[in-house]
Chains A and B, each alone.
Chain A
């Protein structure tokens, strides 16, 4: 009886469990892929998928090298001291198969260079073989066949806004200033205008004041709508709630016109006001419902004891609505942090993170590997904020949903 019941329970729960597992996998796999990719270097990202780091990959040219070259040059290429194939100076003389072919046609001591077995005479067959051998020799001369190596270069490159084809640290080490484009390999690069460092700073400058302003103003307004008795209160509140349906895009052109008339185009003040303006209706709505649902009796007894509105707001309403404030704070913070459109249009001279990420990639997308690092950099701070306040978040999500 008992095992049957257990079995029965398992089968009952199976569809739900399966659905949950599938959903989790669907969500997690792409993020995991992006995460793994963010630690792989540019060439690896370009040539193979992230899952290949879990399985050994065949080495290009190993069989060809073993067939034609290993008998004299040795498996590691260093058997002949006068022709050491593990020496980059020798290998780099032959960049392409046709150069190697021309060289191999010269006899050594009156004998053909490659003779046991000989290379196919037809270049249509010999060139592809030599191409693969070249790849293998380049690997030998650059320190042997490397396994999957993980690197932080995507993160570093994104942080300083590096746009070359190697990596920032490599180019700094080799002094390749042409590819560094104005970066000078000192700590000041962390705030270079094209990098994620300065963008993170800009994002913080935009987001923190907006979040604080919205919370403060919304708390004041919410208290007023909930506990102050003034004429037209319900109408005013209804209009305010109705304002939420105004799409932000509608205001872009008029506000842009207004800002350029008063000289606020591309200033922090301009973007603060814009975000606060569009954040307030929802914030007031959420806070009013929460503060309005606090028990009426405690406010009445406070008034009887002689407390004025300011006193009962600061000592009663505000402390009691901490969960709502925290959840509103997270909402507002994430909303402004992730905003692209408003920052793109109203803050052109100080790119925030979302805008800077689009600046990082070159027009043809050849350095898209840098985006993986940039993506994870851009959500470090929201993650910190979320986990710091998440215990309020769950409580706050229900804020105002049940009227007390």
Chain B
């Protein structure tokens, strides 16, 4: 018995020793940047953070996005000498494990939904030094839960825009519509001319339907306005209200008739949302317009590098829309350490907004960003965002499951020709289940 227990004991001892060796020695790294930058330190408040303080971050950004984010953090790192240790993940399971074991000081997430899950571990943004004066009131409202500001938007991308080719519009004698009636007239004119107006393809694996959900939300914002959408989110307006049905009727016509969209209902269901963008801008285009978020500009530029923004491709705001729809990345804090406060104070300051705009990492909801963009697409998008009467987050993302899937299923069924009232009933039931109204 003792003969073979020896190796096991030895292994355990080795493991314990190795574990002990792996424990980091908490030696302060004073060698970090201690020089005092003159122009910057006057605009960055370190909130008492000392050189060598570490700040742990979690976000979903990868690749070039992560590079941009680090560029934005760099002035803070230079000014206060804090060390940033970041983890990038898109996985909610990883986030959950981290939050329950060792939460990051600051979390950046593409929705404010972590607040509802981890509110008790989170820190009030105002006590962490957030400058709310730099944000439009509708942003603050969206980040406030149980009368406490838990989330601040740092990055926004607008969805309520339509991409088109100005040169092709000109060659065919079309003009950019300014009202929703204009848009309907234009769409019908294109259809009579034999040009397919829309590229509606929305295939995206298990997430098929989200592009349609964006389109319908834009129709709701145009026909009914932002408060109506917020009422759907809080449950006072059911998802099978006549206003919603009206939006679905327009969508059904445009997304399932081959005269209005590439390939008719089958084309909409089976064309991937990325191909739907390419179909409008490829050498032999199959449609005139595609409604897609700001990211489409980047996709066009990488797929067709010779096309010129402004003449070969451009976008206009959804005609007659009464409030912008968009996605935002939110900042939430799990810590009140000085380094965490420094980050919150920096990103919410006017100077932080300016750096964000100059880096060109989508738009920043921070007012300090206004007038500081250099990329022409961002300037135009930021102007659309700044002049918006309101901002509504994505209905489906905000309500969450089971509504999201029910909504997508409804959209797919409507495109396939199901009666709208029948298709909307399960989605409305899911909405009721979530909001309790």
Contacts and interface: CB of A to CB of B under 8 A. Distances in A.
B24 interface: yes
Interface residues of B, number: 53
Interface string B82-112: 0000010111011001101110000000000
A98 to B, nearest CB: 4
A138 B284 CA distance: 11
Contacts of B170: 98
B285 A131 contact: yes
Contacts of A344: 89, 91, 93-94
A46 B275 contact: yes
A132 interface: yes
A96 B168 contact: yes
Interface string A248-273: 00001110110010111101010001
B22 interface: yes
Contacts of A362: 63
Contacts of B94: 344-345, 348
5 contacts: A97-B283, A131-B284, A256-B98, A262-B19, A344-B89
Contact of B4 (A96, A101, A220, A273): A220
A253 B194 contact: no
Contact of A269 (B18, B97, B100, B204): B18
Contacts of A265: 102
Q: Which among B3, B8, B97 has the greatest number of chain A C-beta atoms within 10 A?
A: B97
Interface of A: 46-47, 60-61, 92, 95-99, 101-102, 123-125, 127-128, 131-132, 134-135, 138, 163, 165, 181, 213, 217, 220, 223-224, 228, 230, 252-254, 256-257, 260, 262-265, 267, 269, 273, 308-310, 313, 341, 344-345, 348, 359, 362-366
B172 A124 contact: yes
A60 B63 contact: no
Interface string B63-95: 110000000000000000000000101110110
Interface of B: 1, 3-4, 7-8, 11, 15, 18-20, 22-24, 60, 62-64, 87, 89-91, 93-94, 97-98, 100-102, 165, 167-168, 170-173, 193-195, 204-205, 274-275, 283-285, 295, 299, 302-304, 306-307, 312
A165 B302 contact: yes
A384 B302 CA distance: 39
Contact of B7 (A92, A138, A220): A220
Contact of A125 (B18, B24, B194): B194
B101 A257 contact: yes
A263 B23 contact: yes
B270 to A, nearest CB: 11
Nearest to A138: B283
Contact of A96 (B19, B87, B274, B283): B283
Given A125-B194, A257-B101, A341-B93, A263 B22 contact: yes
Nearest to A266: B87
Q: Which 8 interchain pairs have the tightest Cβ spacing?
A: A131-B284, A256-B101, A263-B23, A257-B101, A98-B171, A310-B3, A260-B102, A253-B100
A267 B89 CA distance: 18
Given A46-B275, A253-B100, A366 B4 contact: no
Contact of B22 (A262, A348, A359): A262
A355 to B, nearest CB: 10
Contacts of B275: 46-47
Contacts of A123: 171-173
B14 to A, nearest CB: 10
Contacts of B24: 263
A309 B1 contact: yes
Given A96-B312, A165-B303, A181 B4 contact: no
B48 to A, nearest CB: 25
Contacts of A363: 60, 62, 90
A95 B60 CA distance: 36
